[in-house]
């Protein structure tokens, strides 16, 4: 308060004339003191005088996009009588606080730590691929449905073959998306190519849908000269400027606030697009998630948060991470519209993301989607998940809840797919992928000097010195370094 007590009275008078702050300085029983008036103004965190809108009447302040949201929404902190009565029959008062209306009550009541009714999980197809009666979903054409299924099978095959390649020592690392194919492909199908994607590391299907080729996947995993990252990233850390897909980062949840910043930029530029970010349930335990949610809500940024709640953050179950009713309820706490979806139901995921995108772009609002699924595969090739979860549980999800099988049954019921098409598809994908791996494996590796490029326009002397020392070390000890990396 020491700072505010030094504000000249002429500034207060100036503010009063410019934005009608006089109404802020009145209480229900008279005019406030100079000190209490300053407290009231401090609550509103007003902008510098040079940027204040020229409003003469506080009642004339309207909700216009891009204009001082604090002044749009909250005009005073005076109290008013509430017409409705509280449960005990006494009237309550409402405080028009900057964070929204506060209803006072003489009854002491704590909010429960858990809901009496759990959040519903949106679902369209049952486990047998049958439409659930009275389902509300976005229609999908035969062309889109067949492409979705083909991409899901491709992703499944991609994971199987690359996992085997890692086990053979041909690549150093791999992460599968087994059990989560519907989240990948269905969400990608509901977006447009202009939407900017900030992935975690289990969303290669989004790239696949957007046109990333099997050869491009293989080039990245083998780190050859055709890899867009020039071999400087671990396998599965894909990225594509052309496809609006930011490069994967291993650090958990760092992409979430980045997505909000990008979404805010799209809003400011009046683009007909949104940002989309993917993360796991473990990511919601990071501070970045909470900061991003609040940031998105306050700035009303067009961003879709897609959380893959697959039950496990490596070996940590969700029961050891949080006590809330899943993830979707957290959105409400931050003022973000949210939904819980069956992540193994491709039709439900498509409908939810399609609707979320419409709201995000047209209403300038963030949306949180909690996709309930199960990580059937190990966390990565460095993990053995049977050490912390029963094998029969994994097998049950693999067989009874497989999203690819469920969606196949639905398109077969519609007469859009058959066993012959299935056989041809799987054979063709496997053949194409094995061919792409052979090419990627034989391709030349990036030169050593690529380790020092693409950061500075003019490489500084200390990096030049490091490059020189590295090349000298390789020449002195050639057996300790890969022979296929050009010096």
Q: Quick one: pLDDT at residue 62?
A: 39
One domain for residues 356 and 435: yes
Q: Determine, yes or no, domain membership for 121.
A: no
CA dist 444 and 441 (Å) reads 8
Mean pLDDT of the chain: 85
One domain for residues 303 and 328: yes
* Counted domains in the chain: 2
Q: Determine, yes or no, domain membership for 202.
A: yes
One domain for residues 464 and 413: no
In this predicted model, what pLDDT tens digit does every residue of 49-62 receive, in sequence order?
233 333 333 333 33
One domain for residues 193 and 221: yes
One domain for residues 168 and 284: yes
Measuring CA to CA, how many Å separate 4 from each of 37, 45, 97, 248, 480? 10, 12, 20, 47, 66
Q: Determine, yes or no, domain membership for 269.
A: yes
Q: Are 183 and 306 in contact (CB under 8 A)?
A: yes
Q: Quick one: pLDDT at residue 92?
A: 66
Q: Determine, yes or no, domain membership for 487.
A: no
Q: Quick one: pLDDT at residue 114?
A: 80
Q: Quick one: pLDDT at residue 91?
A: 58
Q: Mean pLDDT across the stretch 72-89?
A: 46
Q: Determine, yes or no, domain membership for 130.
A: no
Q: Quick one: pLDDT at residue 76?
A: 43
Q: Determine, yes or no, domain membership for 151.
A: yes
One domain for residues 379 and 464: no
Q: How many CB atoms lie within 10 A of CB 171?
A: 23
Q: Is the pLDDT score of 416 beyond 50?
A: yes
Question: In the numeric block, which tokens belong to residue 470?
Answer: 């590295």
Q: Quick one: pLDDT at residue 96?
A: 84
Residue 30's beta-bridge partner residues? Answer: 27
One domain for residues 456 and 371: no
Q: Do the strands 26-27 and 30-31 form a parallel or antiparallel pair, or are they unpaired? A: antiparallel
In this predicted model, what pLDDT tens digit does every residue of 441-451 receive, in sequence order?
999 999 999 99
One domain for residues 189 and 237: yes
Owning domain of residue 320: 142-442
Question: Which residues are known catalytic residues?
Answer: 164, 250, 379-380
Q: Are 124 and 345 in contact (CB under 8 A)?
A: yes
One domain for residues 386 and 430: yes
Q: How confident is the model at residue 195 (pLDDT cuts 50, 70, 90)?
A: very high
CA dist 487 and 478 (Å) reads 11
Q: Quick one: pLDDT at residue 115?
A: 78
Q: How confident is the model at residue 166 (pLDDT cuts 50, 70, 90)?
A: very high
In this predicted model, what pLDDT tens digit does every residue of 467-479 receive, in sequence order?
999 999 999 999 9
Q: Is the pLDDT score of 407 beyond 90?
A: yes
Share above pLDDT 70 across residues of the chain, in percent, rounded to a whole number: 81
Share above pLDDT 90 across residues of the chain, in percent, rounded to a whole number: 74
Q: Quick one: pLDDT at residue 86?
A: 45
In this predicted model, what pLDDT tens digit does every residue of 424-434 receive, in sequence order?
999 999 999 99
In this predicted model, what pLDDT tens digit does every residue of 268-308 receive, in sequence order?
999 999 999 999 999 999 999 999 999 999 999 999 999 99
Q: Is the pLDDT score of 26 beyond 50?
A: no
One domain for residues 437 and 453: no
Least confident residue range of 20-24, 144-148, 159-163: 20-24
Q: Determine, yes or no, domain membership for 60.
A: no
In this predicted model, what pLDDT tens digit does every residue of 103-160 receive, in sequence order?
888 899 998 888 778 889 999 999 999 999 999 999 999 999 999 999 999 999 999 9
Q: Determine, yes or no, domain membership for 242.
A: yes
Q: Mean pLDDT across the stretch 249-270?
A: 97
CATH of the domain at 423: 3.40.50.970
CA dist 420 and 65 (Å) reads 54
Least confident residue range of 83-87, 117-121, 158-162, 258-262: 83-87
Q: Mean pLDDT across the stretch 318-336?
A: 93
One domain for residues 412 and 427: yes
One domain for residues 398 and 455: no
């Amino acid at each position: 308060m020491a700072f505010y007590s030094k504000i000249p009275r002429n500034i207060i008078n100036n503010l009063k004339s410019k934005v009608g702050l006089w109404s802020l300085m009145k209480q229900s029983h008279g005019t406030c003191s100079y000190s209490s008036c300053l407290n009231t103004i401090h609550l509103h965190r007003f902008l510098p005088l040079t940027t204040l809108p020229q409003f003469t009447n506080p009642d004339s302040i309207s909700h216009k996009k891009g204009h001082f949201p604090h002044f749009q929404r909250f005009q005073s902190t005076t109290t008013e009588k509430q017409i409705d009565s509280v449960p005990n029959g006494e009237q309550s008062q409402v405080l028009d606080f900057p964070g929204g209306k506060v209803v006072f009550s003489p009854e002491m009541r704590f909010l429960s730590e858990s809901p009496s009714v759990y959040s519903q999980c949106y679902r369209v197809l049952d486990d047998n691929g049958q439409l659930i009666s009275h389902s509300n979903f976005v229609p999908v054409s035969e062309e889109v449905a067949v492409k979705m299924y083909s991409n899901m099978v491709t992703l499944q095959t991609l994971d199987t073959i690359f996992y085997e390649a890692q086990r053979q020592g041909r690549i150093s690392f791999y992460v599968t998306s087994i059990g989560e194919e519907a989240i990948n492909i269905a969400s990608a199908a509901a977006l447009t190519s202009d939407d900017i994607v900030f992935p975690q590391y289990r969303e290669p299907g989004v790239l696949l849908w957007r046109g990333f080729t099997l050869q491009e996947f293989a080039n990245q995993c083998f780190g050859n000269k055709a890899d867009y990252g020039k071999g400087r990233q671990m396998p599965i850390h894909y990225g594509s400027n052309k496809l609006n897909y930011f490069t994967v980062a291993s650090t958990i949840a760092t992409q979430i606030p980045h997505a909000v910043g990008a979404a805010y930029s799209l809003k400011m530029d009046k683009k007909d697009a949104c940002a989309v970010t993917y993360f796991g349930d473990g990511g919601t335990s990071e501070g970045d998630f909470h900061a991003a949610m609040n940031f998105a809500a306050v700035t009303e940024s067009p961003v879709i948060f897609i959380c893959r709640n697959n039950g496990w953050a490596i070996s940590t179950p969700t029961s050891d991470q949080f006590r809330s009713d899943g993830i979707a309820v957290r959105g409400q706490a931050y003022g973000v519209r949210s939904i819980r979806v069956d992540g193994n139901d491709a039709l439900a995921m498509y409908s939810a993301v399609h609707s979320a995108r419409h709201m995000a772009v047209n209403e300038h609002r963030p949306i949180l989607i909690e996709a309930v699924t199960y990580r059937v595969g190990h966390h990565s090739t460095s993990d053995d998940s049977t050490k912390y979860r029963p094998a029969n549980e994994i097998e049950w999800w693999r067989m009874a809840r497989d999203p690819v099988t469920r969606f196949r049954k639905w398109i077969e019921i519609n007469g859009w797919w058959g066993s012959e098409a299935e056989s041809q598809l799987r054979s063709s994908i496997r053949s194409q992928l094995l061919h792409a791996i052979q090419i990627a494996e034989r391709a030349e590796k990036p030169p050593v000097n690529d380790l020092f490029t693409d950061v500075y326009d003019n490489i500084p002397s200390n990096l030049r010195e490091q490059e020189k020392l590295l090349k000298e070390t390789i020449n002195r000890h050639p057996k300790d370094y890969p022979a296929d990396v050009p010096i």
